[in-house]
Structure 1
Amino acid sequence: MKKNIAIVMGGYSSEYDISIKSGNVVYQHLDRHLYNPYRIIISREKWVCLDDSDQEFPVDRSDFSIPHSSGKIHFDCVFNAIHGTPGEDGLLQAYFELLNLPQTSCDHYQAALAFNKRDLLSVLKPHGVPCATSYYLDKGQSIDEDSIVNKVGLPCFVKANRAGSSYGISKVYKKEELKAAIDKAFTEDNQVLIESFLDGVEVSVGVITHKGQVLVLPITEIVSENDFFDFEAKYLGKSQEITPARISETKEANVRKLAEFIYTILGFEGYTRSEFIFIGDEPYLLEVNTVPGLTEESILPKQAKAAGISLKELFSSAIEQALQ
């Protein structure tokens, strides 16, 4: 019997539109011989299921079901395509765990940890994972530009601590530019992470559980036409994403080993995409995404394609792993 699969998309963050695109790609490519897919749009205003004519049906949040003429439709598994809150920060994961409903991303703790860049780096540093020098700020805290510059140097990156898709990020060259960059980051989150500039080759490494095994996908080299891999570079064609990356065998072995170690030591499941910058042959971790983009043009699906894994197979594998 075919399984009912809820593909959740949308969310509460600036990544809403990107998530809708990811969710629709999953919907288009899901194997209809195995699954009955349903598009579930989650927003602050409403949770609804869309049929093929885009008619909306309300979701019953008490048991995550939708109405049907013959009774409620219940789901066997949730495919999580929500970037940002509440799909990438652990909130939905905890909700589905309480309902005992399998879902394709990692558990709520791992999701919340990865989404909080400061906490993630703090947990991984004792394991010997190299990271940039960092400075933390919380909303309402006084800003000491001299202290920041003394700690991280210039240029530096100012980031929203809990945001994705390069929202709220700035590269700062002068002390006088810090205040505006911090204010921009605070529009996305009330926590800010300021990091030293790492000058080296940037790569993105996808790690998935495929057919029951942890698999590191072919590595992607990021070459931005802009000053860094910002929103324009990521989504508006202002970058080259080269798979496989043009790096030495030593660099490749080091980053593959580190990416798999992070995935395993933190107990991730489903898909992750981690960003690194090389200093010499050593990869420095920037962040880990637990619900990466899933459109045809997104990095992880391209890496899967390079590994000989189709979108249909990629998505089916995640569902089957969750069901187990």
Structure 2
Amino acid sequence: MKQKIALVTGGYSGESVISYKSAKTIYTHLDKNLYDVYVIDINPEGWFYLEDDHRAGTIDKNDFSLRLHGETIRFDGVFIGMHGTPGEDGRLQGYFDMLGLPYTSCNAATSALTFNKRYTVAVAAMAGIAVAPSVHLFAHTAYDVATILQQLQLPVFVKPNNGGSSIGMSKVSKGEELAAAIEKAFAEDNQVLVEQMIQGREFTVGVFKTEGQIQVLPITEVIAQNEFFDYEAKYHGASTEITPALIGEEWKANIEAAAKNIYAVCNCSGVVRIDFIYDEVAAKPYMLEINTVPGQSEASIIPQQVRAKGWTLQDFYSRLVAEALAKR
């Protein structure tokens, strides 16, 4: 008998547009011989079952069940294809934990931690992982641009502290540009991270767990056509992505070791994507951030890495679902 999987998408943030793109890819490649897949759109208007992109039913939030054609559908597990809140920040995970429903992403605590970029790098630094110096700002607390410029060397990156699609992010090379960049980031979030730029090549790598073992996908080097890997570069092709990255064995081993260490330290589950800058002078990778629900759209990096490994997305997603269901 096939297992019933809810593919959750949508969300309450600007990242919902990416969620719908990811969900299309995931739905296409989930093995329909193994699973009956139901696309569930969670948005500010409600929680809906989508059939051919049309609302065909609503979810009972008391138990996350679906009443459809006179039958009550109860799900065996959830594939989370939602970026931003509430699918990436731990809120939805906590809800599913209370229902005893397994899901493909990190747990509630890890999701909440890694959604906050500043807290993530603080935990990583405590574990001995190299991270860039940064300043954490809150909307309700006064800040002084001159003091920030004394603490950090230009250029810096200014970005909303929560979220993972580079919306509201800026690169600042001149002191007089910093205040405007901070306000731009505050328009997206009530917390902002100002992070000193590490000079080096940028790499990103998918890490996942299957059959209880942490595995690393082929590493991707990201060469942005813009000044940095911003929203346009990520989702509109304004970057060159080389998978697998053309690097030596030492760099590859260092990045893979750091990625596995971070995955373990943060108690991750499912597939995550970890971004690094490799400082050639220091001969080590600096962690930038962790994305616990990485994009799965046709333009996204994880599908590239899966194919570079010689796997199909169908095989990969089946492994993620199997790992999640094993927790029941």
SS of corresponding position for 1:67: strand
Runs of 4+ in 1 over 4 A off after TM superposition: none
Q: What residue number does 2:169 align with? A: 169
Residue 104 in structure 1 maps to residue 80 in structure 2:
no
Q: What residue number does 1:257 align with? A: 257
* Structure 2 alignment gaps of length 5 or more: none
Q: Partners of 2:187 and 2:215 in 1: how far apart?
A: 36
Equivalent position to 1:323, from 316, 322, 325: 325
Residue 83 in structure 1 maps to residue 48 in structure 2:
no
Residue 47 in structure 1 maps to residue 47 in structure 2:
yes
Deviation at 1:153, TM superposition (A): 1.4
Equivalent position to 1:290, from 273, 289, 292: 292
Task: In structure 2, give the amino acid aligned to 1:315.
Answer: Y
Q: Partners of 2:53 and 2:306 in 1: how far apart?
A: 31
Is residue 163–residue 188 contact of structure 1 (8 Å, CA) maintained in 2?
A: no
Q: Partners of 1:165 and 1:40 in 2: how far apart?
A: 21
**Residues 256-276 of structure 1 deviation map (CA, whole Å, 9 limit, x = unaligned):** 000001111221110010000
Q: Partners of 1:47 and 1:203 in 2: how far apart?
A: 36
SS of corresponding position for 2:150: helix
**Residues 206-244 of structure 1 deviation map (CA, whole Å, 9 limit, x = unaligned):** 101134421101000000000000111111111001001
Equivalent position to 1:304, from 289, 297, 306: 306
Q: What residue number does 1:224 align with? A: 224
**Residues 144-179 of structure 1 deviation map (CA, whole Å, 9 limit, x = unaligned):** 111111111111111100022111111111111111
Residue pairs, 1:103-252, within 5 angstroms: 103-252=103-252
Q: Partners of 2:151 and 2:169 in 1: how far apart?
A: 19
Q: What residue number does 2:58 align with? A: 58
Q: Partners of 2:142 and 2:323 in 1: how far apart?
A: 47
Q: Partners of 2:151 and 2:210 in 1: how far apart?
A: 41
Moved more, 150-159 or 85-94: 150-159
Cα separation, partners in 2 of 1:224 and 1:53, compared to 1, 3 Å = closer
**Residues 259-318 of structure 1 deviation map (CA, whole Å, 9 limit, x = unaligned):** 001111221110010000011220000000000011233101110111112111111111
SS of corresponding position for 2:222: strand
Deviation at 1:69, TM superposition (A): 2.7
Identity %: 48
Deviation at 1:53, TM superposition (A): 6.2
SS of corresponding position for 1:37: strand
Task: In structure 2, give the amino acid aligned to 1:74.
Answer: R
Task: In structure 2, give the amino acid aligned to 1:245.
Answer: A
Q: Partners of 1:69 and 1:239 in 2: how far apart?
A: 46
Aligned length: 324
Task: In structure 1, give the amino acid aligned to 2:148.
Answer: I
Is residue 48–residue 55 contact of structure 2 (8 Å, CA) maintained in 1?
A: no
Deviation at 1:48, TM superposition (A): 0.1
Q: Partners of 2:177 and 2:129 in 1: how far apart?
A: 30
Q: Partners of 2:52 and 2:181 in 1: how far apart?
A: 43
Q: Partners of 1:89 and 1:309 in 2: how far apart?
A: 29
Task: In structure 1, give the amino acid aligned to 2:178.
Answer: L
Q: Partners of 1:91 and 1:7 in 2: how far apart?
A: 16
Moved more, 160-169 or 92-101: 160-169
* Aligned Cα root-mean-square deviation (Å): 1.1
* Structure 1 alignment gaps of length 5 or more: none
**Residues 21-52 of structure 1 deviation map (CA, whole Å, 9 limit, x = unaligned):** 11111111111111000000011111100113
Cα separation, partners in 2 of 1:128 and 1:6, compared to 1, 3 Å = same
SS of corresponding position for 1:313: helix
